[in-house]
Chains A and B, each alone.
Chain A
Amino acid sequence: MKKSSVHSPLRLPDHPSQQFELEMEEVDLPAKIAASAPEPTGLSSKQLSIQDALLKEGLMAVKLSATCRSLADLHLLLIDNLGQNSLETRRRYVQSITKWFFPDGIDGLLPKVWRAYADEAIIIDLLRWSYLAQEPVMGACVADALFPLANGIAVPPAYFDKFLANYLNKPPPEKTRERLKINLKRLGFLERARGKPDRLLPVIPQKTSFLILLHHIFAPRSMRAVELRTLFTNLFWKYLGYKSEDEVRTGTRSRSRRT
Chain B
Amino acid sequence: MRCVPELEVGPEERDQCRSILQTLLLWVVSLPDNLRDGLTAQEVAEAAWLQDDAVGATAQAEHLLEVLIQSGFPVRKEKKSRGGEEVAVYTYETSVVQANPVKFFAPLKKKYLQDLKRLDEKWIESLFWDVTMLTPEAQAELHVDGGIFGKCAPNDLRTQSERASNAPIRFSFPHRSGASTRRVHKVAYGGEIVVCDHWLEEFGEEIKHSDQHFRIVYICSKPSKTDEVITSALKDTRIAVCHAETLKQETRDALADLLAAQEMKKNCAAPNQGSLREYAETKHNAAIKAILKCQLVHRF
Contacts and interface: CB of A to CB of B under 8 A. Distances in A.
B158 interface: no
A256 B5 contact: yes
Nearest to A1: B213
Contacts of B148: 19-20
B208 interface: no
B187 interface: yes
Interface string B118-142: 0000000000001110111001100
Interface string A205-232: 0000000000000000000010111000
Interface string B180-198: 1111001111110100000
Interface string A20-34: 111111100000000
A148 interface: yes
A2 B187 CA distance: 11
B136 A154 contact: yes
A45 interface: no
Interface string B148-192: 101110000000000000000000000001111111001111110
A155 interface: yes
A154 B139 contact: yes
B193 A18 contact: no
Interface stretch (B6-14, B17-25, B36-44, B72-80): B6-14
Interface residues of A, number: 42
B151 A24 contact: yes
Nearest to A224: B10
A149 B277 contact: no
Interface stretch (A7-15, A122-130, A177-185): A7-15
Interface residues of B, number: 44
A169 interface: no
A159 B131 contact: yes
Interface string B190-212: 11010000000000000000110
Contact of B134 (A8, A19, A153, A256): A153
B177 A4 contact: no
A16 interface: yes
A22 B134 contact: no
A3 interface: yes
Interface in A222-259: 225, 227-229, 246, 249-250, 253, 256-257
Given A22-B180, A22-B193, A253-B6, A10 B188 contact: yes
Contacts of B271: 228, 249
Given A23-B180, A246-B277, A253-B6, A6 B186 contact: yes
A17 interface: yes
Given A2-B210, A3-B189, A149 B177 contact: no
Contacts of A23: 179-182
A35 B143 CA distance: 35
Given A6-B187, A23-B182, A156 B9 contact: no
B253 interface: no
Given A6-B186, A156-B131, A253-B5, A150 B136 contact: yes
A108 interface: no
A36 interface: no
A196 to B, nearest CB: 13
Contacts of A134: none
Contact of B144 (A3, A12, A19, A257): A19
B274 A246 contact: yes
Interface in B35-70: none
Contact of A25 (B11, B177, B274): B177
A5 B184 CA distance: 10
A152 interface: yes
Given A151-B136, A156-B145, A22 B187 contact: no
Contact of B188 (A6, A150, A159, A253): A6
A19 B297 CA distance: 12
B216 interface: yes
A257 B4 CA distance: 12
A4 B145 CA distance: 29
A5 B131 contact: no
Contacts of B182: 16, 21, 23
Contact of A4 (B5, B213, B277): B213
Nearest to A145: B132
Given A3-B213, A4-B189, 20 more contacts: A1-B238, A2-B211, A3-B187, A4-B190, A6-B187, A8-B211, A9-B178, A12-B180, A19-B150, A20-B148, A21-B182, A22-B179, A23-B182, A25-B179, A153-B139, A154-B140, A155-B131, A156-B145, A249-B271, A257-B5
Interface of B: 5-6, 8-11, 130-132, 134-136, 139-140, 143-145, 148, 150-152, 177-183, 186-191, 193, 210-211, 213, 216, 238, 271, 274, 277, 296
The 7 closest A-B pairs by CB, nearest first: A10-B190, A25-B178, A152-B136, A225-B10, A24-B151, A148-B132, A22-B179
7 contacts: A1-B238, A8-B190, A22-B193, A23-B179, A23-B181, A25-B177, A225-B10
